[in-house]
Amino acid sequence: MSAASVEQPFDADEPFSLTAIADEVMERHPGYRVEIIGGHLLVTPSPDARHGHVLTDLMIPFLAAGLHGGETVVIQNVGIWLPSGAEDYAIPDLALLDADYDDHHVERNAYDPLCFRLVVEVTSRNWKDDLKTKAAAYAEAKVPVYVVVDRKHQRLHVLTEPDGGAYANHRVHAPGETVTLPDVIGAEVALDVEGIVTAGRRSAS
């Protein structure tokens, strides 16, 4: 992940707000994703097409399992309010939420983590943030299941059993494996690791 350079848009004598700085970054850099985690800005450039390809492939088994509509919905790029700080929020690439998520809106298009059953991140250049910073944030928010598609190392990480600022169970899966996600998400979903990581692999050209 590369951070955009931003001039502070405030008078030196005025208290600054990370939220206001985040808004400034998004205004100056359309398409960038800006998150506040642990009192720090995370700024991510627009993803490449392979990133989107993985997300589409990931959505298919959730839709096939009947998880979109009824009690739950599958949504890309929806904000989750984090308990780690007054302004903290993240925007996972993909999430499974309770269908009544509108009742759990907090602010700034972010929702109470109580209505999230699963979040997914597909790495770009920010794989360390996804595996460390965001893992701690989602665990503290008590998101039951966190899935990371690690494009750099061609692995699928499944983190479960949030306990404080960490997940008690962290399993790493390689191509050739099929991973069945925990029942807590509401239906049986099996992920083909090889198919997912192949979709995210850039061509050699």
pLDDT of 129 > 50? The answer is yes
Q: Work out the end-to-end distance of the chain between its first and last CA atoms, rounded to an integer number of angstroms.
A: 22
Strand order in the sheet with 94-98: 72-76, 94-98, 116-122, 145-150, 155-163, 166-173
% residues pLDDT > 70 (the chain) = 91
pLDDT of 77 > 80? The answer is yes
Structure tokens at 144: 């039951």
Furthest-apart CA pair in the chain: how many Å?
Answer: 58
| Confidence (pLDDT) at 65 | 97
Residue length, the chain?
A: 205
| Confidence (pLDDT) at 6 | 42
| Confidence (pLDDT) at 128 | 85
197 with 156: CB under 8 angstroms? yes
| Confidence (pLDDT) at 7 | 41
% residues pLDDT > 90 (the chain) = 69
Q: Which domains does the chain have, with CATH numbers?
A: 48-199 (3.90.1570.10)
| Confidence (pLDDT) at 149 | 97
Give the pairing of strands 79-81 and 110-111: parallel
| Residue 154 one-letter amino acid | Q
Q: Is the pTM of this model over 0.85?
A: yes
* Rounded (10°) CA dihedral 28, 32, 35, 40: -60
pLDDT tens-place string over residues 115-125: 999 999 999 87
